[in-house]
Amino acid sequence: MKRQLHILSPVQLLNNSALFKGHRVKLTVNNVCLTSSNPPILEGECDKYQGMHIDLADGVHEDFSVEKFDLILGDSLCRWKKEGFASVWIRFTLQQGALISVAANHGFVYHHAENKHAVMCQWLDMDSPSRLPQFATHQVGVAGCVVDHESKSVLVIRDKHKRYSLWKFPGGLAELGEDLNQTAVREIYEETGVKSEFHGILAFRQQHDQPSAYGRSDLYFVCYMTPLTFDLKPCLREIEACMWMDLEELESHPQTSAITRRIVKLVKKGLGEGFNDVTFVGQEFQSIYKDLKYVMYHRGIVDDGPLPYVHSILEARRKKTTG
pLDDT of residue 92: 95
Q: What is the mean pLDDT of residues 134-150?
A: 94
* Average per-residue pLDDT for the chain: 84
Q: What is the mean pLDDT of residues 134-146?
A: 93
Half-sphere exposure of 56 toward its Cβ, with a 13 Å CA cutoff?
27
For the stretch 91-121, pLDDT in tens is 999 999 999 999 999 999 999 998 899 999 9
Where are the extended beta strands (E) located within 124-163? Answer: 138-148, 153-159
The percent of residues above 70 in pLDDT, for the chain, comes to 81
pLDDT of residue 173: 93
pLDDT of residue 303: 58
- Nearest in space to 156 (alpha carbons), one of 264, 81, 45: 264
For the stretch 266-313, pLDDT in tens is 999 999 999 988 999 988 889 998 899 988 998 876 555 544 555 454
Dist CA 218 CA 138 (whole Å): 5
Which domains can be identified in the chain, with CATH numbers? 9-36 (no CATH), 39-135 (3.40.630.30), 139-279 (3.90.79.10)
Q: Which amino acid type is present at position 202? A: L
pLDDT of residue 239: 93
Residues recognised as catalytic = 190
Q: Residue 11: enclosing H or E segment and its boundaries?
A: helix 10-14
Query: Residues 107-124, buried b or exposed e (16+ Cβ, 10 A)?
Result: ebeebeeeeeebbbbbbb
Please tell me whether the overall predicted TM-score, pTM, comes out greater than 0.75 for this model.
Answer: no
pLDDT of residue 211: 81
Query: Residues 195-212, buried b or exposed e (16+ Cβ, 10 A)?
Result: ebbbbbbbbbeeeeebee
Query: Which is more confident, 243 or 283?
Result: 243
State yes or no: pLDDT of 320 exceeds 90: no
Q: What is the mean pLDDT of residues 65-78?
A: 94
CB 141: neighbour CB atoms within 10 A?
A: 21
**Any idea what the Cα angle at residue 232 is, between residues 171 and 177, rounded to 5°?**
30
Those residues whose C-beta lies under 8 Å from the C-beta of residue 210, and which sit 6 or more positions away, are 216, 217, 218
